Amino acid sequence: MISTNQLKNGNHIEVDGTIFKVLEFQHVKPGKGGAFVRTKLRRSSDGNVIDRTFRAGEKFRSIRTEVRRMQFLYGDGSDAHFMDSESFEQLAIPQATLAEALQWTRPNDNVELLYIDDQPADIQLPSAVDLEVTETEPGVKGDTASGGGQKPATLETGAHVTVPLFVNIGDRVRVDTRSGAYVSRA
């Protein structure tokens, strides 16, 4: 069992039979009344984020998580296919449950697959990835000198981001996987 005093960002807990990942938490001690904990939780089954308040000291079942190195083979529209790098065993996971993470993952990339209670649940992404720009409009000469500007671009994984005007097709860019924002050229 895990108490609200032991919560950390990234922990997985079970609340009312549903598994959640703790995104944020805050202990609140009002001047009057009992202490409580405000949390922001992401449901692991579908990715919905909810706000929930618990009494201080409330206990939850701790969820056993494990990370396994896998190779992302391909997505066929309905399933994402992975292969264990050690046993070469293949695994298919519904693509809808991993849609957010797959937009930053190229075929044949090695990824860390998160298992929750021995069930594959999510891909653990690095904070930033380097991807090639496959489609964008050319920057107009003179627009890049001062003040910059932004234009839409499509990356090799199919993800859409906004990049500065000086980025061209074929350039590699670094993108923050948490916000989807352009960071720099790679």
Q: How far apart are CA 95 and CA 77, in angstroms?
A: 7
**Domains in the chain, please, with CATH?**
2-62 (2.30.30.30), 65-124 (2.40.50.140), 128-185 (2.40.50.140)
12-15's contacts with Cβ under 8 Å and 24+ in sequence apart are 12/44, 12/62, 12/63, 12/65, 12/116, 13/41, 13/60, 13/61, 13/62, 13/63, 14/60, 14/61, 14/63, 15/41, 15/52, 15/60
Q: Facing residues of 14 across strands?
A: 19, 61
Largest Cα span, the chain: 63
Q: Note the pTM of the prediction, 2 decimals.
A: 0.67
Three-state secondary structure call for residue 99? helix
Average pLDDT over the chain, rounded to an integer: 84
Report the length, in residues, of the chain. Answer: 186
Q: How confident is the model at residue 79 (pLDDT cuts 50, 70, 90)?
A: confident
Q: How confident is the model at residue 144 (pLDDT cuts 50, 70, 90)?
A: low
Q: How far apart are CA 74 and CA 25, in angstroms?
A: 36
Q: Kindly state the average pLDDT of the residues 76-89.
A: 87
- Residue 159's region, left for phi above 0, alpha for psi from -120 to 50, else beta, is beta
Position 146 pLDDT exceeds 70: no
Q: How far apart are CA 44 and CA 116, in angstroms?
A: 9
Q: How confident is the model at residue 148 (pLDDT cuts 50, 70, 90)?
A: low
In this structure, the number of other CB atoms found within 10 A of the CB of residue 3 comes to 14
Quick: pLDDT tens for 20-77.
888 888 888 888 888 898 999 888 777 778 898 888 888 888 788 888 889 999 888 8
Q: How confident is the model at residue 174 (pLDDT cuts 50, 70, 90)?
A: very high
